[in-house]
Amino acid sequence: MTSQTGSQLLSAESLDGASTVLSDLPVVVIGAGPVGLAAAVHLLHRGLEPLVLEAGPQVGNNIAQWRHVRLFSPWCLAMDPISVRLLDQAGWTGPDLEALPTGRDLLDTYLRPLAALPDLSSRIRLNTRVVAIARRDLDKVRSPGREQLPFLVRVRVEHGRLKDLHARAVIDASGTWTQPNPLGASGLPALGEADAAGRIVYGLPDVAGRDRGRYAGGRTVVVGAGHSAATSLLALAELQQHEPGTRVLWAVRSATPRPLVGKGSAVADELPARGRLATDLALLVEAGQIQLVSGFRIHTVERAGDGVRLVGDRLHDHGLADARTVHVEADQVIAATGFRPDHSIAAELRLALEPGLESAAALGPLIDPNVHTCGTVPAHGMAELAHPEPGYVIVGMKSYGRAPTFLLATGYQQIHSVVATLAGDAVGAGHRDQGRPAAVLCAINRQFMAAAHRRILTAPVAEAQSRARWVRGSTATDWSSATCC
């Protein structure tokens, strides 16, 4: 593959070379999810050499853990436009842009075909976990000559062997999926939480599928007030209809739960399927199918026979002064308490983190979940993502720290700015006020896909019939398993 300037890129065999001349080194991308692969595509497009390091055995490894879940944002928000164009050039037939993909759809229809393209596949290393990043020959204290030195990226490969790679820059798109928040209201694990791990699932279990037996006929408490919690609650309510004896409790920390998103309705929300989560969940609570325990701050988890007992303070409108100790017993617990970033691999780099969210300091005010939903975060780029360590940048879900307001469309805009900066394009690195990222990305992807569809329709009939197989998924009115941005 040649760059848009016509220059020849490095061969895959040279990616692990020992050269310390920055221009000869690849840009290491950590994570082969949607944002990580988009970073690799943009780097190639700009004539820069990527090396994608994925800890898992497959691209999109984290998505594979929630493949049963349907996104509440449509396909037009789930794909990077430059990647769509590259796939189109390879003869790919894309999905209906208005449909809502599942995690499985995202893997099978988009990420795996993208990663299989020859220009990309040779630059992806699976089962390669990054354990530390530093400047070669300098710890974080020393400043002279720092910017002229390459990054040293230490990885763990087959059989646990450690290996050091060199990079001109590092883009961390590793996400937060492997770092769930604990049940404890203080941000620390509740006392006894680790001992009860066999009864707790963090994240998004497949209630209707492979995990059905775990929850059927039992008493389950879902802890959390976000979209992941809503998804599990709706799935458990559906399970109630088929499995007598299934009971569902919903524990939230707020004494007066606010709407899940925005104004809390399908009509008012920027993404209708997301709004339906709030409205339909409210109906189930009102009907008594789901028992709501509000103002519940967990501090202890105890084993109770074959189940668990959650112990905490229950706050009322008057706050801590009016709190009383409450016990909630269940057979199973689903901890949908969100995720947090792990910055330990960058312990020898100079970071500037927003103290509450653990995002880049300048990004924090733009993504504050007390103010924004994922549809209202303004456009941002390298200027907001930068850390004091030049050449190291965090993108995607991890860039948001503890804020749950990330949208894939925003991640793709981040990549556009970051890669432009690495390519020395100051104009391209800036972002014009074109409106909300979601609307901008949908417009671009619709243009690309419409052009591809027109080419199919004008091709010979036999060719059109063989290629025009549009992948139809559920539409925005199918809310039953919708969950996340």
pLDDT of residue 462: 34
The one-digit pLDDT tens for each residue of the chain (485 residues) are: 444 433 334 344 444 544 557 888 999 999 999 999 999 999 999 999 999 999 999 999 999 999 999 987 889 889 999 999 999 999 999 999 989 999 999 999 999 999 999 999 999 999 999 999 999 999 999 998 899 999 999 999 989 999 999 999 999 999 999 999 999 999 999 999 999 999 999 999 999 999 999 999 999 999 998 888 989 999 999 999 999 899 999 999 887 655 443 444 445 555 555 666 777 788 888 889 999 998 899 999 999 999 999 999 988 655 555 568 899 999 999 999 999 999 999 999 999 999 999 999 999 999 998 887 666 788 899 999 999 999 999 999 999 999 988 889 899 999 999 999 999 999 888 865 555 555 554 455 455 445 544 443 444 333 333 322 222 233 322 222 333 34
Q: CA dihedral defined by 59, 62, 68, 72, rounded to 10 degrees?
A: -100
Three-state SS at 269: coil
* H-helix segments, 386-436: 408-422, 426-429
Written as six digits, the tokens of 139 are 């710890």
Read off the tokens for 124.
């992806």
Amino acid 261: pLDDT: 39
Please tell me the predicted confidence (pLDDT) of residue 280. Answer: 79
Q: pLDDT value at position 81?
A: 94
pLDDT of residue 483: 33
Strand partners, 152: 134, 166
Please give the pLDDT value at position 272.
58
- What is the pLDDT, as a whole number, of residue 285? 87
| Closest residue by Cα to residue 398 from 414, 376, 421 | 414
Specify the pTM. Answer: 0.84
Question: Which residue is it, tokens 């990079």?
Answer: 167
- State residue 428's pLDDT score: 87
Q: Is the dihedral of CA 402, 404, 408, 409 positive or negative?
A: negative
**pLDDT attached to residue 289:** 92
Query: Quick count: other Cβ atoms within 10 Å of Cβ 102?
Result: 21
pLDDT at residue number 20: 53
Helix (H) or strand (E) holding 167: strand 162-167
> Is-contact 212 203, C-beta < 8 A?
no
What is the phi/psi pair of residue 479, to 5°? -100, -5
- pLDDT given at position 443: 55
Q: Residue 192: its pLDDT value, please?
A: 97
Alpha-carbon gap, residue 328 to 439, rounded angstroms: 43
Reduced to 3 states (helix: H, G, I; strand: E, B; else coil), residue 277 is helix
* Exposed/middle/buried for residue 450 (C-beta within 10 Å: 0-12, 13-18, 19+): exposed
pLDDT at residue 452, as a whole number: 45
- For the chain, the residue count is 485
Rounded to whole angstroms, the Cα distance separating 15 from 24 reads 9
| Other CB atoms within 10 Å distance of the CB of residue 169 | 22
